[in-house]
Structures are given as structure tokens and as C-alpha cells.
Amino acid sequence: MAIDTFVENFSSAVLRAVAASTPKCHWRDNPRPPITAGIQDEIRLKIRLRKQWQITRDTALKAEVNRPQGSVTRRLSEWRNDQRSMTLESLDREDQSLLRLAKRVMRVPIPSPPLSPQGESLSQTLSKPKPLPTI
């Protein structure tokens, strides 16, 4: 029992130390807003109808599957545009939010070189001398 208590106290102390020493991430502080319930319901309906059509291949059901697609796409696009507008309106030079967003948008990922079948990078494979053919 004493060992269990010690392990529990030690684990919680480690977790507190990690939380205190880890910098706060932007995405944790400001999570994306959830999609509205109405749009989520339309997406679920569309998925359910599509699954039924894939099983039955009923032409009437296929027409019903295609009908709400434009509505869902349009409403989701409008919602995303509203979210982007609110984000852009909330940017400010003073709190560096404009600079942070610009850096995030301008960041270009650096591609890693492809690996050969042996697990070496392509540059390592190409730099190796080829063995001479035996006659």
C-alpha cells in the first residue's frame, strides 16, 4: 500500500513538473471552434445516405445522396469563411498575433530525401561507388 501511494505521488509530481516546464502551445490555448450542430447533422445524414446507397445501389437513393451535397458544401464553406474573417479581424500588431499568423502561413515544410530499400537516403546511395563488373 505504501509503495502504491509513493508511486502515485511520484507520478503526479512528474506530471506537474512536465506541465510547468513545457511551453504552452498556441493550439491548446485557442482551439478551433467546433462546427455548428446543424452542419454536423447534415454531414451525418449525407454519410448515412451514401452508405445506404453503396449497399443497395438504388437510383432514387443516389439522387437523394447528391441533393444535400451542395447544401452541406455551401454551408460549410460559409462557416469557414466566417471563421477566417473573425480571425483576421482579431489580429493586432501590438500583441504579435499578426506576425505569428504570417509566420505560420509562410512556413514551407522542408522535404526529406527519399529512402532507398536499404534505409539509406538517396544522396548516400548515389555517393557510394558502384562495384566494378566481374568478367
At 5-54, the pLDDT tens digits run 988 899 888 888 877 776 554 444 555 678 888 888 888 888 898 899 99
Dist CA 18 CA 100 (whole Å):
25
State the residue for C-alpha cell 453503396: 54
Dist CA 104 CA 29 (whole Å):
16
0.85 surpassed by pTM: no
Mean pLDDT on 94-108: 82
Q: What is the residue extent of each domain of the chain?
A: 34-106
By mean pLDDT, which of 14-28, 82-96, 112-126 is the weakest?
A: 112-126
**How far from the centroid of its chain's Cα atoms is residue 101's Cα?**
17
Q: What is the residue type of 73?
A: T
Model pLDDT, residue 81: 92
3-state class (DSSP) for residue 121: strand
Model pLDDT, residue 113: 65
Model pLDDT, residue 42: 86
Residue 108 confidence (pLDDT) above 70: yes
Model pLDDT, residue 116: 58
At 47-86, the pLDDT tens digits run 898 899 999 999 888 888 877 667 788 888 898 899 888 8
State the residue for C-alpha cell 451514401: 50
Model pLDDT, residue 115: 61
**How far from the centroid of its chain's Cα atoms is residue 25's Cα?**
15
Model pLDDT, residue 84: 86
